[in-house]
Amino acid sequence: MLPDLKGGFELDARLDTDSVSLMWLGLCELRLMNDCRWPWLLLVPQRPGVEEVHDLTPLDQAMLTFETNMVADALKRVTGCTKINSGALGNIVRQLHVHVIARSEGDPGWPGPVWGYGSRVPYQPDAMHGLIDKVRKAL
Amino acid sequence: MLPDLKGGFELDARLDTDSVSLMWLGLCELRLMNDCRWPWLLLVPQRPGVEEVHDLTPLDQAMLTFETNMVADALKRVTGCTKINSGALGNIVRQLHVHVIARSEGDPGWPGPVWGYGSRVPYQPDAMHGLIDKVRKAL
């Protein structure tokens, strides 16, 4: 029997519904939010029961920073956006997840935050796969 | 003449107006947003011209993570809040600053984000100094 390397980690049902898997990083699963209004990525550390970044071990905190900033840099290069918005909120979904969003002047809700703004607009399959390919190549 | 250790760093005028200095950390100035609706701290890395976390040097990125998580842990202990919200947005004020906010169920705008929600409500002086003292002691 193979060991359970993820130690019982199970993705939150709401995150599973709202986003799709893009690739695996060292600590996190990188996911794309299925909302074509903004290029919006999620990093989900594979650690069960953790809600706050400061509750990760120091090594995991460093890994999360490294992976988040690598992803943010790639997303900015791929999209040519004005500004990256990153954050860990978790008021609704408590499982720790970090948002990395490409924002541009005039996008929906600009210059306000994306969270809670209107309703999610799913991608057309071609557009989703095009963005996923670009992000994968940039990483 | 003393050397200019901050290398020409000057706090953004909007941040200066909206928040007050709480203490100096290694990389960042820690400030309290003057908005009594939520206990809301800001970390401002003393690096001129930087807008994105991923544009800091790797050492500064690690320092920022360490300082942010130390502050988040202290703010959660001091307030007993439900959830820390942390983020770097910068759509309006481009100078890099990281928000660390104590959120609790039923607070203004819950469970939505605080950014762009209503208008800032300044503290009464006693309430502000009480919170500043508690945060300083917890750090």
pLDDT at B7: 74
- For residue range B29-72, what is the model confidence (pLDDT) as tens digits? 999 999 999 999 999 999 999 999 999 999 999 999 999 999 99
State the ipTM, two decimals. Answer: 0.94
A chain contacts of residue B82, beta-carbon cutoff 8 Å: 91
Which chain B residues contact residue A51 at CB under 8 A?
83
Mind listing the pLDDT tens digit of every residue in chain A (139 residues)?
555 556 789 999 999 999 999 999 999 999 999 999 999 999 999 999 999 999 999 999 999 999 999 999 999 999 999 999 999 999 999 999 999 999 999 999 999 999 999 999 999 999 999 999 999 999 9
pLDDT at position B14, please? Answer: 98
Are B113 and A116 an interchain contact pair (Cβ–Cβ within 8 Å)? yes
Mean pLDDT computed over B12-28: 98
Q: Which residues in chain B are closer than 8 Å to A87, comparing Cβ atoms?
A: 85-89, 99
Tell me, what's the pLDDT at B80? Answer: 98
Q: A61 vs chain B: nearest CA distance in angstroms?
A: 7
**CA–CA separation, A89 and A128 (whole Å):** 25
Confidence tier at B2 by pLDDT (50, 70, 90): low
Contacts 24+ apart (CB under 8 A), B119-124: B120/B18, B120/B33, B120/B34, B120/B35, B120/B37, B121/B35, B121/B36, B121/B37, B122/B34, B122/B35, B122/B36, B123/B34, B123/B35, B123/B36, B124/B36
**Mean of the pLDDT values across residues B91-99?**
98
Average pLDDT taken over every residue of chain B: 96
- Is the CB of A17 inside 8 Å of chain B's CB atoms? no
pLDDT computed for residue A71 by the predictor = 98
The answer, for B84 touching chain A at a CB cutoff of 8 Å, is yes
**Across B104-131, average pLDDT:** 98
CA gap B98, B89 in Å, rounded: 8
- Comparing B5 with A117, the larger pLDDT belongs to A117
pLDDT tier, B4 (very low <50, low <70, confident <90, very high otherwise): low
Q: Which two tokens stand for residue A118?
A: 């209107």
| Structural domains of chain B in order of their starting residue, each with its CATH number | 13-138 (3.30.428.10)
